[in-house]
């Protein structure tokens, strides 16, 4: 039913475009218009579609709670708890859908009939009211159309509103996500002291196994459980390993592509490198877990080293490979966009190609290169799948790349897989980690931007 | 004495021939102007003299270009040494994204000319003085060269070029991006530089060629139509085409 109404509104709005335009063209035959005929079409289409759609949307949002209010108003005097009312209402709804299998009472039956009744009334009155609003507003606008109606301005204002709402939606979503992280995190820190989280040396969320609700809020349950130092250290350590792989290879290949490679080679090689960026991270994950990990373990054995099959080195190394195309492709672009006259100037001084690259092109391209590296770092910190698959899940505090370690993202996965419930500190820990990760990435981005800005001032 | 002798120089961009059998002698310690309408090959010829055409993939040069009686178009010519001897100024000022000091010290550093910091300081000051820029920038030589005005940037590029004491300086329309006052300063500078360097300047402006040069070559459609002393070319050309161009009948 809803989709029928929606489609009707869209179709009517579309056809009113043609009506509006046609009327304008008719007027045009003997009077001068203030705008092109198509604006009259848009004008009528907006007047037809926008009010009806708005009403339809608002109705759909508020209808359920109004119906609920009417159904439950019969029982409001009985002093029932909110939870009991909710339960009752859910029963009424499932009975109305013939999906109720519990005990039937007269009250329940009566309410279910009333519910169906209300839904019916609501449905038809919605159709009637929305359509009559549509007809009224279209008719109003249609009669208003004359040779000197202002149509361009309202259409522009409407479009501006649409753009504004779209950006507002994006911003509000971001703010909403931050706040949901924030509230859960605050609840988490009401049970776990902030100090223990930030400076605690043991991360062992499995220990926070709660048998019943009375234990859940007892801080003594969680001592030495949610110390985030090992996973922060692990995150930065693995990111460091990844960047040790990605920066040199990515940068050098970017420079090669931009400065040395022939046009033909570049034409074929660049897409191949960029394919690396298109491989799903989960594929990198099993490449790390099934190929690189065991290979490093065997290599270690033959050298007499003890290497865990799930090592930070395997995860970080493969992550580095994943990041290579970002750095290589971006720095290639940045280097290519350094003006040719700087190169000419350097060559004309008798500089060799490598001197020119090192002393003129690289400094000129530095802001962009720093930007690409920081982009790579935030990818490394946010990467999940490779770590989950290749570096194990035990949060060891170690600086030995041959041991397994864990990261913030991997621990969020660990916490949220399997049984969990809201209000449980173990679940809330995931939100606290998510917020920390968000803050780290945000700070990184701000630093990246300011670095880029600083160098730009110096070099342009 | 001839500093540069070009014999039978042909240049191709891919399949298109840009220069046809150029033969030209350039005298030492004089300013030689290359004039002609756009696309006539004068800049291409200029770039043959320090092998800057090597930078362009599709460009092929044949013929002999002798500088100090040495053919620079040989396979084993060291272009680094060549460009140390033959500097170049470009149409658009192109200071490096470095400080004024670093812009000048770049050449001496890559060629290992200065042995110490104080020697380098001297080179920088001397080069800036010769380029008539020292008084304007002496208090801010550690600020970015890109912060200077257009005319100052071009003089910075000249200072950068003369820092390694080239024997020849090639100038490719060095004033076309500058205002009249900056142009006058550069022209004055060119006359000064002639004492120590041989200068070849490509210019669109005939009055500039008349003002700054002793010799002039007129190019048209990839051919060198006429070459001789500037006086003769401007007052009494032997070729009809030269006459037409000088008097503004085409170009």
Contact call for A349 and B57, based on CB within 8 A:
no
**Mean pLDDT across chain A:** 86
**pLDDT 10s digits, A60-72:** 899 888 888 888 8
Q: Which strand (E) or helix (H) includes residue A430?
A: helix A425-459
- Using the 3D structure, point to which of A120, A147, A174 is the last residue of a domain: A147
Residue position matching structure tokens 């907006």: A46
How many domains does chain A divide into? 2
Chain A residues near residue B144 by CB distance under 8 angstroms: 458-459
Q: Are A323 and A254 in contact (CB under 8 A)?
A: no
Same domain, A126 and A275: no
- What residue in A sits closest to B79 (Cα-Cα)? A350
Tell me whether residue A342 is in a domain: yes
Q: Which residue has the higher pLDDT, A79 or B179?
A: B179
Q: What average pLDDT does this structure show over A245-258?
A: 94
* pLDDT score for A215: 58
The least confident of A56-70, A337-351, A414-428, B45-59 is A414-428
Tell me whether residue B62 is in a domain: yes
Contact call for A339 and B94, based on CB within 8 A:
yes
CA-to-CA distance for B250 and B233, rounded, in angstroms? 16
Q: Which residue has the higher pLDDT, A452 or B204?
A: B204
Same domain, A239 and A334: yes
Q: Are B71 and A366 in contact (CB under 8 A)?
A: no
Strand partners, A172: none
pLDDT beyond 90 at B157: yes
Tell me whether residue A164 is in a domain: no
Tell me whether residue A153 is in a domain: no
Three-class SS state of A75: coil
How many domains does chain B divide into? 1
Q: What average pLDDT does this structure show over A5-27?
A: 91
* pLDDT score for A31: 84
**pLDDT 10s digits, A109-138:** 888 888 888 888 888 888 999 999 999 999
Q: A426: domain CATH number? A: 1.10.3720.10
Domain range enclosing A140: 2-147
Q: What average pLDDT does this structure show over B49-72?
A: 91
A 245-264 residues inside an 8 A Cβ radius of B? 262-263
- What residue in A sits closest to B84 (Cα-Cα)? A350
DSSP string for residues in B44-79:
HHHHHTTTGGGGSTTEEEEEEEEETTEETTSTT--H
Give the other-Cβ count within 10 Å of B211's Cβ. Answer: 18
Same domain, A251 and A140: no
pTM: 0.75
Q: What average pLDDT does this structure show over B180-202?
A: 92
Tell me whether residue A346 is in a domain: yes
Q: B25: domain CATH number? A: 3.40.50.300
- Using the 3D structure, point to which of A122, A147, A172 is the last residue of a domain: A147
Report residue A420's pLDDT band, with 50, 70 and 90 as the boundaries.
low
**pLDDT 10s digits, B12-54:** 999 999 999 999 999 999 999 999 998 889 999 999 999 999 8
Same domain, A290 and A415: yes
ipTM of the complex: 0.91
Give the other-Cβ count within 10 Å of A313's Cβ. Answer: 24
Contact call for B110 and A341, based on CB within 8 A:
no
- Whether chain B has a CB inside 8 Å of the CB on A341: the answer is yes
- Using the 3D structure, point to which of A147, A169, A203 is the last residue of a domain: A147
* pLDDT score for B33: 95
Tell me whether residue B112 is in a domain: no
Tell me whether residue A350 is in a domain: yes
pLDDT beyond 70 at B128: yes
Tell me whether residue A7 is in a domain: yes
**pLDDT 10s digits, A359-412:** 999 988 888 888 889 888 988 998 888 888 888 777 778 788 888 888 888 888
Same domain, A233 and A128: no
* pLDDT score for B134: 93
Same domain, A115 and A25: yes
When scoring A335, A348, A360, A366 by the number of chain B Cβ atoms within 10 A, the one with the most, hence best to mutate, is: A348
* pLDDT score for A13: 92
Taking the mean position of all CA atoms in its chain, how far away is CA B9?
Answer: 18
Same domain, A137 and A269: no
Tell me whether residue A212 is in a domain: no
Same domain, A244 and A125: no
Tell me whether residue B157 is in a domain: no
Strand partners, A86: none
Report residue A221's pLDDT band, with 50, 70 and 90 as the boundaries.
low
* pLDDT score for A422: 66
Q: Which residue has the higher pLDDT, A422 or A102?
A: A102
Tell me whether residue B147 is in a domain: no
Q: For residue B92, what are its two tokens?
A: 């658009």
pLDDT beyond 80 at A208: no
- What residue in A sits closest to B164 (Cα-Cα)? A349
Tell me whether residue B124 is in a domain: no
* pLDDT score for B120: 95
Same domain, A251 and A399: yes
Tell me whether residue B204 is in a domain: yes
Contact call for B92 and A341, based on CB within 8 A:
yes
Q: What average pLDDT does this structure show over A269-275?
A: 87
Domain range enclosing B235: 2-95+169-246
């Amino acid at each position: 039913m809803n989709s029928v109404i929606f489609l009707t509104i869209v179709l009517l709005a579309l056809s009113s475009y043609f009506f509006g335009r046609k009327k304008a063209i008719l007027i045009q035959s003997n009077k001068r218009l203030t705008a092109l005929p198509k604006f009259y079409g848009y004008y009528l289409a907006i007047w037809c579609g926008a009010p009806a759609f708005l009403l339809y949307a608002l109705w759909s949002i508020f209808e359920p709670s109004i119906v609920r209010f009417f159904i439950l108003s019969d029982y409001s005097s009985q002093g029932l708890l909110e939870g009991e009312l909710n339960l009752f209402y859910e029963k009424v709804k499932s009975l109305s859908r013939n999906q109720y299998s519990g005990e039937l009472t007269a009250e329940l039956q009566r309410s279910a009939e009333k519910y169906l009744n209300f839904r019916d009334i609501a449905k038809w009155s919605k159709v009637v009211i929305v359509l009559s609003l549509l007809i009224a507003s279209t008719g109003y606008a249609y009669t208003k159309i004359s040779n000197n109606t202002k149509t361009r301005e309202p259409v522009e204002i409407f479009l501006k509103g649409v753009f504004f709402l779209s950006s507002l939606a994006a911003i509000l979503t971001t703010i909403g996500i931050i706040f949901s992280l924030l509230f859960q995190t605050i609840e988490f820190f009401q049970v776990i002291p902030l100090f223990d989280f930030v400076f605690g040396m043991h991360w062992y969320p499995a220990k926070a196994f709660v048998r019943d609700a009375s234990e859940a809020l007892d801080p003594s349950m969680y001592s030495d459980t949610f110390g985030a130092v090992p996973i922060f250290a692990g995150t930065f350590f693995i990111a460091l390993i990844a960047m040790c792989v990605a920066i040199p290879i990515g940068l050098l290949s970017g420079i090669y592509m931009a400065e040395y490679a022939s046009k033909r080679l570049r034409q074929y090689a660049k897409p191949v490198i960029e394919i690396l960026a298109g491989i799903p991270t989960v594929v990198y994950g099993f490449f790390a877990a099934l190929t690189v990990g065991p290979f490093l373990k065997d290599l270690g054995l033959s050298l007499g080293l003890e290497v865990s099959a799930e090592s930070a080195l395997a995860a970080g190394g493969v992550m580095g490979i994943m990041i290579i195309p970002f750095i290589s492709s971006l720095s290639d672009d940045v280097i290519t966009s350094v003006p040719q006259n700087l190169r000419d100037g350097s060559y004309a001084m008798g500089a060799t190609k490598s001197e020119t690259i090192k002393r003129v092109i690289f400094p000129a391209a530095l802001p962009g290169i720093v930007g690409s590296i920081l982009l790579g770092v935030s990818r490394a910190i946010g990467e999940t799948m490779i770590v989950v698959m290749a570096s194990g899940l035990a949060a060891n505090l170690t600086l030995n790349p041959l041991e397994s370690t864990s990261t913030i993202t991997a621990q969020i996965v660990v916490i949220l897989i399997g049984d969990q419930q809201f209000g449980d500190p173990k679940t809330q820990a995931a939100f606290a980690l998510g917020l920390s990760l968000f803050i780290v990435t945000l700070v990184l981005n701000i630093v990246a931007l300011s670095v880029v800005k600083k160098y730009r001032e110096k070099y342009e | 004495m001839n500093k540069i002798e070009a014999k039978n120089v042909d240049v191709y961009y891919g399949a298109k021939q840009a220069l046809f059998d150029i033969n030209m002698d350039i005298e030492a310690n004089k300013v030689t102007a290359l004039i002609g309408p756009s696309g006539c090959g004068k800049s291409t010829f200029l770039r043959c003299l320090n092998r800057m055409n090597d930078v362009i993939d599709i460009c092929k040069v044949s013929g002999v270009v002798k500088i100090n009686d040495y053919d620079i178009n040989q396979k084993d010519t060291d272009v680094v040494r060549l460009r140390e001897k033959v500097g170049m100024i470009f149409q658009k000022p192109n200071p490096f994204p470095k400080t004024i000091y670093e812009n000048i010290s770049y050449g001496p550093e890559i060629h290992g000319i200065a042995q110490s910091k104080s020697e380098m300081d001297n080179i920088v000051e001397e080069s800036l003085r010769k380029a008539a820029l020292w008084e304007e920038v002496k208090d801010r030589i550690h600020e970015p060269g890109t912060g200077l005005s257009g005319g100052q940037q071009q003089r910075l590029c000249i200072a950068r070029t003369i820092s390694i004491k080239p024997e020849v300086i090639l100038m490719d329309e060095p004033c076309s991006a500058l205002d009249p006052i900056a142009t006058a300063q550069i022209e004055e500078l060119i006359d000064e530089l002639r004492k120590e360097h041989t200068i070849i300047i490509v210019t669109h402006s005939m009055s500039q060629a008349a003002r700054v040069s002793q010799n002039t070559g007129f190019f048209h459609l990839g051919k060198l139509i006429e070459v001789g002393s500037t006086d003769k070319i401007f007052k009494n050309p032997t070729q009809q085409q030269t006459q037409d161009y000088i008097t503004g009948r085409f170009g």
